[in-house]
Amino acid sequence: MSDMSAVPWLDEARLARSLESVPTADAGRIGALLDKARALEGLSLEEVATLLSVEDKDLLAPLFETAKWVKDEIYGRRIVMFAPLYFSNACCNECVYCAFRKSNHELTRKTLSQAEIAAETAALVDQGHKRLLLIAGESLSDESFQHLLDAIATVYSVKRGKGEIRRVNVNVAPLSVDQFRALKAAGIGTYQLFQETYHRPTYAAVHVAGRKADFAWRANAIDRAMEAGIDDVGIGPLLGLADWRYDILAMMSHIAHLEERFGVGCHTISVPRMEPAFGSEMSEHPPHLVSDDDFRKIVAVLRLAVPYTGIIMSTRESPLMRRECFSLGVSQVSGGSRTNPGGYTAGEGEQSEQFRMGDHRSLDEVVRDIAQVGFTPSFCTACYRMGRTGRDFMDLAKPGLIREMCGPNALSTFVEYLEDYASPETRAAGEVAIAAELAGMDPKIRRYSETMIAKVRAGKRDVFR
């Protein structure tokens, strides 16, 4: 195991001071911070701590309004769609909050064969998905890593009529630099890894055995991924394990470290709250429960703190919470998800899933809901394939140029979905949303969009800028 103290960017004393000496959240100070946030240059750790301390509803209202403004300024009305594909729930770790932990002998274990992965992929393509997130428990064998590489190739090989998966993202346990190089060569988009909690005492208490018990090995994994050339990475805490204020500030320290060392931070942040997991008592009673009010605040503050970073919300949350957070900062959601290996072909199975979902709707229902509340579901994967990742993405995003590409790309892929997969009800809602989005566009960008949409309606697929 590595040295548990070898995480130099995690300044625990500074985090403690930031939490203990938060300035009074008066209207003048909060107003000044919100004005600064509108410059779209982010916020310091101490400024984030101040905004996280806001409880007064009269101060939360302008905070939320500013988050909505920032979200719209950078991302517009786009909500990117994806689905997780769990290909194994075998795991060598002992994480007390997780159904996949090694000692949970009541869990039905399953590792999908390549043929089964192809079948799961086909089921998701038939729903209309274009990007997947491959997920598995941790296994230390060379065979399991090769199985992952083979799974990526399998997913990309599946073609179903006009449909296919155009980008595979990966959320698997920490790897070596050489393994990360192999993962990049396999053609992945984003590599995701959650520290779960940055609070060392809590981390040690809930990760009691297995490779995951090594705090530093996990905390430094994103560095190894970026050393290997993967410049699109995603991080996030599991909200509910430790004081969420500490974990959010620690995550900000992690982002600052990546920006300082590699010139770019994470591409996405995920905000999972702990949900009940089969066979885990802790998951039924999170040690640090995050209320709905605090959860909305977390999303809004993150949008202000790292304005150009995507925020992902999974089906852990209810349809209502997901809907509310679209405006506050969330830019990517899953739809029609299953958290058990084989779930898309065999159905949900409590005794093999990682956690209990809050949103059981189909992709069609999720897409319709997004359109009906005035947002544009996007199935675009263009940036990955055009090399607009890492610093290149930020070079386009910060001056606002990315919107000129993402807006038209979102609409063309949404029209693809409506033409090929949507129910009549969803198609009707989608056409209304598309008309509204086009009407609000800059005339030059609207012309691009209308040209691309016309090509899709004429039968062309994968139209992007």
Map residue 132 onto helix, strand or coil: strand
Q: How far is CA 77 from the centre of its chain?
A: 17
Higher pLDDT, 225 or 353: 225
- pLDDT higher than threshold 50 for residue 4: no
Of all residues in the chain, the percent with pLDDT exceeding 90 is 77
pLDDT (mean) for 179-207:
96
- pLDDT higher than threshold 90 for residue 392: no
- pLDDT higher than threshold 50 for residue 212: yes
- pLDDT higher than threshold 60 for residue 356: yes
| Amino acid identity, position 165 | I
Specify whether the backbone of 265 is left (phi greater than 0), alpha (psi in -120 to 50) or beta.
Answer: beta
- pLDDT higher than threshold 90 for residue 381: no
**CA-CA distance, 304 to 30, in Å (whole number)?**
12
At 240, the pLDDT band (50, 70, 90 cuts) reads very high
Give this prediction's pTM: 0.93
At 393, the pLDDT band (50, 70, 90 cuts) reads low
- pLDDT higher than threshold 60 for residue 1: no
Q: Provide the pLDDT for residue 389.
A: 62
Query: Residue 236: which residues within 8 A CB-CB, separation 6 or more?
Result: 192, 194, 195, 251, 269, 270, 271, 272, 312
- pLDDT higher than threshold 70 for residue 148: yes
**CA-CA distance, 442 to 238, in Å (whole number)?**
39
Map residue 448 onto helix, strand or coil: helix
At 2, the pLDDT band (50, 70, 90 cuts) reads very low
For residue 84, which phi and psi values (nearest 5 degrees)? -80, 145
**Number of helical H runs and strand E runs in the chain:** 21, 13
Q: What is the DSSP string of 243-262?
A: -HHHHHHHHHHHHHHHHHHH
Q: What pLDDT, in 10s, does the model give residues 47-102?
A: 999 999 999 999 999 999 999 999 999 888 999 999 999 999 999 999 999 999 99
Query: Residue 112: which residues within 8 A CB-CB, separation 6 or more?
Result: 87, 88, 120, 151, 341, 342
pLDDT (mean) for 193-217:
96
Of all residues in the chain, the percent with pLDDT exceeding 70 is 93
Query: Residue 229: which residues within 8 A CB-CB, separation 6 or more?
Result: 180, 181, 184
pLDDT (mean) for 297-322:
94
Q: What pLDDT, in 10s, does the model give residues 138-147?
A: 987 778 999 9
Higher pLDDT, 438 or 464: 438
- pLDDT higher than threshold 80 for residue 377: yes
**CA-CA distance, 409 to 411, in Å (whole number)?**
5
Map residue 252 onto helix, strand or coil: helix
Higher pLDDT, 393 or 170: 170
For residue 386, which phi and psi values (nearest 5 degrees)? -95, 5
Q: Which of 257-266, 335-344, 350-359, 442-451 shows the lowest per-residue confidence on average (mean pLDDT)? A: 350-359
**CA-CA distance, 17 to 301, in Å (whole number)?**
19
Q: Provide the pLDDT for residue 63.
A: 97
- pLDDT higher than threshold 90 for residue 6: no
Q: What is the b/e burial string over 24-47, where b = at least 16 CB atoms within 10 angstroms of the residue's CB? A: ebeeeebeebbebbeebebbebeb
**CA-CA distance, 221 to 120, in Å (whole number)?**
29
Q: What is the DSSP string of 203-228?
A: HHHHEEESGGG-HHHHHTHHHHHHHT
> Closest Cα to residue 297, out of 28, 59, 77?
59
Q: Exposed, middle or buried: residue 409 (CB in 10 Å: 0-12, 13-18, 19+)?
A: buried
Higher pLDDT, 395 or 302: 302
pLDDT (mean) for 19-43:
91
Q: Provide the pLDDT for residue 349.
A: 59
Strand-pair category, 159-160 with 163-164 = antiparallel
Q: Provide the pLDDT for residue 390.
A: 61
| Amino acid identity, position 207 | H
Torsion 379-366-370-321 (CA) sign: negative
Q: Provide the pLDDT for residue 24.
A: 79
